[in-house]
Structure 1
Amino acid sequence: MSKRIHWNNRGYKSVVWRCFSRLESIGLESHARTINEPVLQDTVVKAINQMLGDKSSYQAQQQLNISSVIRASQATSVENIDEKLMALQQELIQKAQSKEVYDEIADDIFRLRELRQQTTIENAARDKQIKRINDLQDYIAQQTTRLTAFDESLVRRWLKQITVWMTT
């Protein structure tokens, strides 16, 4: 974690960002450099402009990420679990009618019901995540101008918006 400080280094006053562990004795050694605030601001402007200027490849990468999340979740889809449950329930009924032992099938049914509930929860979370990513893409697509200089209020709004999307 970094901290913004006013620095007086050999008579030269400046604003810099320093690792907190270099300012306070917290038992951790830091090798992080001190960064002049104008350098940090310039880097932030370049990063935002890179994202704005390269929207198509940025958004294409996001679409690939969304697709991989969807493909991974399809392996344990609710419909797939429901099919397995139906088959096991039919097998359970047949075994019960012929008075065979069906404890193993019953255990499988309970396990699949738990898996179905967990999958439903995960699907809802995934859908929420995909919506956040799509909202972020829409927000980036609406940005039409590049930054020419660091604007703290604009950068704060960007960071706030991105943080909201990443944490909700």
Structure 2
Amino acid sequence: MSAGIDPRFRDDIERLLADGDLLDLDPLLSYDGYFDELPLFATYAQIAFLDGLPPAERDRVLVRAAVAHLERILAHAAGHPDFFCAVTVTGWDEPLLVPRFWRANPSRGVFEYLRLSPPAGAAAVVAGLLGHDPDYVLHEDFLDGPGGRRLARVFVTHVDHPVPSA
């Protein structure tokens, strides 16, 4: 796995992960609900250390940091077959993209209802942020609503940890 945290912001990213309770990995391995989606950051103030960068560069730093942390989570989860985690990228209508950690226990049935689409427009943006790294598989998740079909998130999984089949 090759995504990494930009060395210029390593301490800030680690603080961000700590503030979001994302460094304590054991509690991430089980969830009593259907699925959970934990954001890398909750407020723009938390990522003010990136204010000097153009928006596309901020997105790149944040998405790559989230994918790097996903690698830690997956390594920690080895041997836990009832656990799945991916990075999801949301915020497509916002000034900045928001990477999140989408986690679920497959035995709870979420994958019977999750319908992911092959990568297209938004996934191409995320692929670019990841340098088109072949270690990552991208999917798009759309929701149907009163205004029609809209993109909810792009899923980023590692090739060795695919989305479980239903």
Who wins on radius of gyration, i.e. which is larger? 1
**Higher fraction of helix:** 1
Higher RCO (Cα < 8 Å, 6 or more apart): 2
TM band (smaller chain): under 0.3
TM-score for both structures, normalised by structure 2: 0.20
